[in-house]
């Protein structure tokens, strides 16, 4: 960040003119100003202009996480797609890097894709190294979408296009978003025939020649297939794993775009949904998470995921243009599968270790039974918090108890609120009382209900990260999670939590922590 800040101060101009001034379109870090009141402080957002899907996510052998992303470096709306790039040691403190992949000509765009580490040089691109990176992506041309690769000999910073591209040709404009994994010595790609509602699986020995292996579809997914991921997910409390196939689609539970998944097995050529649980579920229960991607190169039994934190219905209109950027990614999420509800497989999604950004406790184990507490966090300079309310003793039924929380602005009167109702095991998040974004699709709906029950021992937890204009809620340790954008005209800075009519044995403790900005 420091280099980009210096470049920004020296030239005080946008990336495009900076590039022409320096006579190069490569190797420049785009400067970013992360101080805007809507700019998230613990979430990744691009230095300037428009970002969408996470691309090419991988963890290298030095412990550096690489995040590429769909990026228009010349405008605040989509178009002119490149692969932007950032790196991190902890998935929170990101260092912006020069753009990694450029379109090959003036009429093509580099669309979404993935990256792998070709340790054994199966591609032949890397005769002298075991850390060669191959990026596999869609080229969106005026007449067709085709799959192409580029390789990097410097660990993922600069890429050269393969001279044999495309690696998979097509005759359609709706064939995109290859995600490649390695399975039993073979490369495996899932890629969407978006309008045909099909995920195709291809296999390859060398990342250059690909053979079609199977097609997958399911009637309950949606009206568009994008950004498929095939990934092995650990099962909680065991050494076992299962595969999920995730697909970004439309519509979601609250209108517009969403990500859905099925749980099953993979045999090298086919994804086979679990025969006893062939059910399509949503990855994110609210409205603002799409096109998510799992990181490549993780140790066994780890699955880490990040998504584009918005909804296709209003992504190009978000009211952050005056701050010079549009869209952030979600928090990095650790994923596992659990079966405890007895209702089939559920994806558990919780924030990746927050300790690198966790600041002072503003409350710790404060008891809030039929009582309330309030914290003025105006002096938390990031304006970002993590809180967790843990309720135990919910063994008696038919209680009318409530847990409420509110983030509010004392000056504008705006607020963002959540309520858990014990009587019907429903959680509601409401962003209606924030007024900085006047947009019909954003408002319809902007109050979200999700069903979640205490666990068998009578415990329930409600946790959230709030970060200026984005909140991510985690219920019961992430067994249910949801992402929502909100745009106040003034920063929210009072946090209140209260409970009422709690059952007699219930205990409620609340912890609240300031989060430290990663951009200062």
Say if CB 453 and CB 391 are below 8 A apart. Answer: no
- Exposure string for 250-270, b = 16+ CB within 10 A, e = fewer: bebbbebbbbbbbbbebeeee
Q: Output 53 or 467, the one with its CB closest to ligand FRU.
A: 53
Whichever of 138 and 483 has its CB closer to ligand FRU, that residue is 138
The CA-atom distances, in angstroms, between 233 and each of 230, 245, 272 are 10, 10, 15
* 101 or 227: CB nearest ligand FRU: 227
Q: Tokens at residue 383, please?
A: 């304006």
Angle CA 117–119–125, to nearest 5: 80
The pattern of x and - marking residues 262 through 291 that bind ligand FRU according to CB under 6 A reads -----------------------------x
When asked if residue 147 is in the footprint of ligand FRU (CB under 6 A), the reply is no
Annotated catalytic residue within 177, 226, 284, 467: 226
For residues 98 and 28, is the Cβ–Cβ distance under 8 A? yes
- In the shown chain, the binding pattern of residues 190 to 229 toward ligand FRU, with x for contact by CB under 6 A and - for none, equals ------------------------------------xx--
Concerning whether 226 is annotated as a catalytic residue, the answer is: yes
Least distance between ligand FRU and beta carbon 192 (Å): 7
Q: Does 138 bind ligand FRU (CB under 6 A)?
A: yes
Nearer to ligand FRU, 53 or 346 (CB): 53
Integer Cα distance of 270 and 273 in angstroms: 10
- Candidates 15, 52, 88, 258; binder of ligand FRU (CB under 6 A) is 52
Residue with tokens 């209606």: 432
Q: Tokens 């960040």 label which residue?
A: 1
Among 7, 28, 46, 53, binds ligand FRU (CB under 6 A): 53
| 177 touches ligand FRU by CB under 6 A | yes
The answer to whether 111 contacts ligand FRU (rule: CB under 6 A) is yes
Q: How far is the CB of 495 from ligand FRU (least distance, A)?
A: 33
Q: Cα(356)–Cα(335) distance, rounded to whole angstroms?
A: 19
- Residue 100 Cβ vs ligand FRU, minimum distance, rounded to whole Å: 15
Task: Give the C-alpha separation, 426 to 404, whole Å.
Answer: 12
Select from 176, 326, 334, 493 the one that contacts ligand FRU (CB under 6 A): 176
Q: Distance (Å, rounded) from C-alpha 486 to C-alpha 466?
A: 10
Q: Site for ligand FRU (CB under 6 A): which residue of 4, 48, 70, 481?
A: 70
Asked if 320 is part of the footprint of ligand FRU (rule: CB under 6 A), the reply reads: no
Contacts of 343 (CB under 8 A, 6+ apart): none
Q: Report residue 311: phi and psi, to 5°.
A: -130, 135
Q: Which is nearer to ligand FRU, 71 or 243 (CB)?
A: 71
DSSP 3-state assignment of 2?
helix
Residue 494 CB neighbour total at 10 angstroms: 15
Taking CB under 6 A as the criterion, the residue among 15, 112, 229, 349 binding ligand FRU is: 112
Other beta carbons within 10 angstroms of residue 175's beta carbon come to 24
Count of residues near ligand FRU by CB under 6 A = 13
- Measured torsion, CA atoms of residues 45, 488, 515, 156, in degrees rounded to the nearest 10: -10
**In the complex, what is the shortest distance from the CB of residue 83 to ligand FRU, in angstroms, rounded to a whole number?**
10
Q: Identify which of residues 174 and 399 has a Cβ nearer to ligand FRU in the complex.
A: 174
Smallest gap from residue 309 Cβ to ligand FRU (A): 12
Q: Enumerate binding residues for ligand FRU (CB under 6 A).
A: 52-53, 70, 78, 81, 111-112, 138, 176-177, 226-227, 291
Q: Mind telling me the catalytic residues?
A: 53, 226
């Amino acid at each position: 960040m420091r280099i980009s800040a210096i470049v920004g101060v020296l030239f005080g101009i946008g990336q495009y003119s900076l590039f022409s001034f320096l006579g190069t379109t490569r190797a420049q870090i785009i400067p970013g100003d992360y101080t805007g009141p809507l700019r998230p402080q613990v979430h990744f957002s691009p230095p300037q202009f428009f970002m969408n899907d996470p691309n090419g996510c991988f963890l290298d052998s030095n412990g550096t996480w690489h995040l590429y992303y769909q990026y228009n470096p010349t405008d605040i709306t989509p178009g002119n797609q490149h692969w932007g790039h950032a790196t991190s040691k902890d998935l929170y403190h990101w260092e912006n890097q020069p753009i990694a992949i450029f379109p090959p000509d003036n009429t093509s765009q580099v669309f979404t894709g993935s990256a792998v580490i070709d340790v054994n040089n199966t591609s032949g691109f890397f005769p002298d190294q075991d850390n060669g990176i191959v990026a596999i992506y869609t080229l969106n041309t005026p007449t067709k979408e085709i799959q192409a690769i580029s390789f990097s000999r410097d660990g993922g910073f600069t890429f050269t296009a393969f001279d044999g591209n495309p690696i998979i040709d097509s005759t359609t404009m709706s064939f995109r978003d290859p995600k490649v994994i390695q399975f039993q010595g073979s490369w495996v790609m899932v890629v969407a025939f978006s309008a045909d509602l099909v995920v195709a699986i291809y296999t390859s020995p060398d990342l250059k020649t690909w053979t079609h292996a199977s097609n997958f579809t399911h009637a309950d997914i949606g009206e568009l297939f994008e950004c498929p991921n095939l990934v092995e997910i650990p099962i909680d409390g065991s050494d076992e794993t299962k595969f999920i196939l995730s697909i970004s689609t439309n519509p979601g539970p609250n209108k517009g775009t969403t990500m859905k998944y099925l749980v099953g097995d993979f045999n090298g050529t086919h994804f086979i949904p679990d025969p006893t649980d062939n059910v399509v579920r949503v990855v994110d229960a609210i409205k603002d998470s799409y096109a998510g991607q799992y990181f490549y190169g993780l140790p066994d039994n780890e699955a880490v995921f990040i998504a584009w934190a918005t909804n296709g219905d209003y992504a190009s209109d978000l009211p952050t243009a005056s701050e010079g950027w549009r869209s952030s990614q979600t928090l990095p999420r650790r994923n596992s599968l659990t079966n405890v509800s007895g209702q089939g497989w559920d994806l558990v999604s919780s924030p990746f270790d927050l300790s690198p950004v966790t600041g002072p406790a503003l409350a710790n184990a404060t008891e809030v039974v039929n009582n309330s507490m309030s914290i003025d966090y105006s002096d938390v300079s990031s304006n970002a918090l993590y809180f967790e309310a843990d309720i135990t003793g919910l063994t008696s039924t038919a209680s009318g108890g409530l847990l409420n929380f509110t983030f509010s602005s004392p000056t504008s009167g705006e607020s963002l609120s959540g309520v858990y109702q014990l009587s019907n095991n429903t959680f509601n998040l409401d962003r209606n009382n924030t007024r900085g974004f006047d947009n019909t699709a954003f408002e319809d709906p902007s109050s979200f209900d999700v069903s979640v029950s205490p666990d068998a021992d009578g415990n329930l937890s409600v946790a959230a990260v709030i970060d200026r204009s984005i909140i991510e809620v985690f219920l019961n340790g992430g067994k249910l999670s949801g992402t929502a954008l909100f745009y106040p005209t003034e920063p929210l800075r009072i946090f209140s939590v209260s409970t009422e009519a709690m059952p007699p044995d219930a205990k409620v403790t609340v912890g609240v922590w300031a989060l430290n900005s990663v951009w200062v």
